[in-house]
Amino acid sequence: MINISIIAQITVALSIVIVWVFRFNNVEKEFKQYGLSDLTRNIVGASKLSLSTLLVAGIWYSDLVLIPALLLAFFMLSAQYFHFKVGNTMQKKLPSLVLLILCLYIAAVALDLV
């Protein structure tokens, strides 16, 4: 039977790849709306894609999971901050909120808290 944490890891990783690769023009618009630079956007994107890769690798090497999950949770918390700062609707806030919850769940499993 597949572990729920593994499903969460795959879900988070795939979601980040879809947004940062296939929906990049939306990311560009959002970062402009938030008043963040292209350099910041590129660093955030490269970091999220790298951390997502580590989450997937963590399926086979569980020691890799905790830090990427916590760092991605931080990025999702930051996304929530910027969504609230510019007054986005709940529809815009929901994806990063769901990913934040999944990242915290993954970290909790990695720490044997769940």
Q: CA 58, CA 88: separation in Å to the nearest integer? A: 33
Q: CA 12, CA 40: separation in Å to the nearest integer? A: 21
How do the domains of the chain map onto residue ranges? Answer: 4-110
CA 16 to chain centre: 6
Sign, Cα dihedral of 70, 107, 77, 31: positive
The answer to whether the CB of 88 falls within 8 A of the CB of 79 is no
Per-residue pLDDT of 39-85, as tens digits, reads 999 999 999 999 999 999 999 999 999 999 999 999 999 999 999 99
The per-residue pLDDT for 33 is 94
Helix (H, G, I), strand (E, B) or coil at 59: coil
What predicted TM-score, i.e. pTM, was given to this entire model? Answer: 0.93
Per-residue pLDDT averaged across 95-99, rounded?
Answer: 97
The per-residue pLDDT for 15 is 97
* Cα Rg of the chain, angstroms: 14
Per-residue pLDDT averaged across 5-9, rounded?
Answer: 96
pLDDT at 2 over 90: no
Could you tell me the two tokens for 37?
């630079």
> How does the average pLDDT of the chain come out, rounded?
96
